[in-house]
């Protein structure tokens, strides 16, 4: 056991690479999901418009 007092320095600014890398991936996933939903909605609208165009109104 040492009786000398040592100056300890504490580094409060630390970051892990996992935390820094995880944030952009979450944002990309949200963006990709949003784009996919938009595309799905557009395709559904086209499909419905085609069905309306092909519908025989003279029943």
Residue with tokens 């309306």: 52
Query: Could you tell me which of 45, 46, 47, 43 has the C-alpha nearest to residue 35?
Result: 43
Which helix (H) or strand (E) segment holds residue 27: the answer is helix 17-54
Between 1 and 51, name the one with better pLDDT. 51
pLDDT, one tens digit per residue, over 9-56 is: 766 666 555 555 555 555 788 889 999 999 999 999 999 999 999 988
The whole-number pLDDT of residue 28 equals 81
Return d(Cα 32, Cα 38) in angstroms, integer.
Answer: 10
Two tokens, residue 59: 């029943």
């Amino acid at each position: 056991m040492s009786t000398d007092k040592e100056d300890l320095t504490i580094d409060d600014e630390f970051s892990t690479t996992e935390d820094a890398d995880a944030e952009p991936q979450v944002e990309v996933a949200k963006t990709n999901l949003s784009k996919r939903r938009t595309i799905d909605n557009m395709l559904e609208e086209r499909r419905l418009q085609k069905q309306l165009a092909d519908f025989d109104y003279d029943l």
